[in-house]
Amino acid sequence: MFEGNLSLKLGNFQLDSGPFAFHSEGVTALFGRSGSGKSTLLRAMAGLDRRTRGSLRYHDEVWQDGRRALPAERRDIGMVFQHAALLANRSVRGNLAFAEQRAPRDRGPAIDRNEIIERTGIGPLLDRSVANLSGGERQRLAIARALIGRPRVLMVDEPLAALDWRAKAELLDLFESVIHDFGIPTILITHAPLEVERLADRVVFMDAGRVERVESLRAALDRVDSPLFTEEGPVASLTGHVEPITDEPRRLRFVTTPQTNDGQPVIFQLGTDGNSIGRGPRRLRVRADDVALARKRIDGISMQNQLPARIERIETTGPGRKAVFLTLNDGQRLVSEVTDRAVADMGLDAGQGVTALVKSAALLR
């Protein structure tokens, strides 16, 4: 658990976070527009600026108390920045060796060095100089350096922002696997809703140097005014896993993870080439515009994903438009955006059972 209230003035910018608290397990996203104070808050939490004032606790440990602060090196944090902070005069191997030498000896066994090298894909680069690495390769090395001593917390400041789309996609896959497989609490800065939907367990919303709100990802996607929604409107992010269809191994389906004791898994037919997507835990992104509603299942149409659901509530999203929030049999939520007329003609109301017709869904990958 992180609990704090931090202030830090950098040039003309003033961070006054106000009181905040959030669980540290999993991935916490600091989200907000450019200039909202995300990086400044992360620097203050990491102890990177001696001008930081206020209070900060990590579990039962005091990291900041007024002017007194636990030095950054004693907070046991792995840092990854947008522009990788590497030793330019050393090779990839030398950068890893430096990180190993600086790792505290009292934190227990480190993650196996060879495993980190294999997982981050930097094996072929070990003897290459940092100056000859691409942007994506530099970030892979930065991740490996941060992980090599098993830090208590990983803090990541927009590591994908400066990369091209291919390197960004590869690094997202890498982050998703190492963050969850190694179980290191992570604080991630991003201004990209898709990255939040894919990686985060909770979201810290920031604006003008203040923490505006802390919510679980589910809660953040469960309100029509969520800052995570772009011009495409409301979306849902479902937790589950990808597996092949028994009789057609080249085709895949997404099976959701029940969120309640009596919940039943919900199955989405993906119809995707089984050779192009990895199996295992994933999140499925469904736009509200891609969910139609019917009173009952409809035969003879192309939409294979027809899911029983119950209306939780209906809210206005704009002139003549309504968001219908739905609960599936697994306890997870979908949202459908329809017209006022559709709500009236169908007599839709909270508590009613309907069939959600999902036109398309995208694996977050």
Dihedral of CA atoms 154, 157, 158, 162 in degrees, nearest 10, equals: -110
Residue 211: CB partners within 8 Å, gap ≥ 6? 17, 18, 19, 20, 41, 204, 205
pLDDT in tens, 151-196: 889 998 887 776 777 777 777 888 788 877 888 899 999 888 988 9
CATH 2.40.50.100 placement within the chain? 235-363
Mean pLDDT of the region 335-340: 94
Classify residue 305 as exposed, middle or buried by CB count within 10 Å of its CB (0-12, 13-18, 19+).
Answer: buried
Q: pLDDT value at position 203?
A: 96
What CATH number has the domain spanning 235-363?
2.40.50.100
Quote the CATH superfamily of domain 2-220. Answer: P-loop containing nucleotide triphosphate hydrolases (3.40.50.300)
Residue with tokens 């059972």: 353
Mean pLDDT of the region 301-321: 89
pLDDT in tens, 217-253: 999 999 888 888 887 789 999 988 888 877 766 678 8
Q: pLDDT value at position 349?
A: 95
Strand ranges for 87-222 from DSSP E: 153-157, 186-190, 202-207, 210-216
Q: How far from each other are the two terminal CA atoms of the chain, in whole angstroms?
A: 28
Q: DSSP state, 73?
A: G
pLDDT in tens, 197-223: 988 999 999 999 999 999 999 999 998
Averaged pLDDT of the chain: 87
Classify residue 246 as exposed, middle or buried by CB count within 10 Å of its CB (0-12, 13-18, 19+).
Answer: exposed
By percentage, how much of the chain surpasses pLDDT 70? 93
Q: Is the separation of the CB atoms in 186 and 150 below 8 Å?
A: no
Q: pLDDT value at position 55?
A: 96
* Residues paired with residue 6 on neighbouring β-strands, in sequence order: 54
Q: DSSP state, 255?
A: E
pTM assigned to the model: 0.86
CATH 3.40.50.300 placement within the chain? 2-220
| Residue 43 backbone phi and psi in degrees, to 5 | -60, -40
What is the C-alpha separation between 54 and 176, in angstroms, rounded? 33
What is the C-alpha separation between 24 and 20, in angstroms, rounded? 12
Q: Is the separation of the CB atoms in 234 and 337 below 8 Å?
A: yes
What is the C-alpha separation between 59 and 81, in angstroms, rounded? 25
What is the C-alpha separation between 304 and 310, in angstroms, rounded? 19
Q: Is the separation of the CB atoms in 2 and 153 below 8 Å?
A: no
Residue with tokens 């600086």: 102
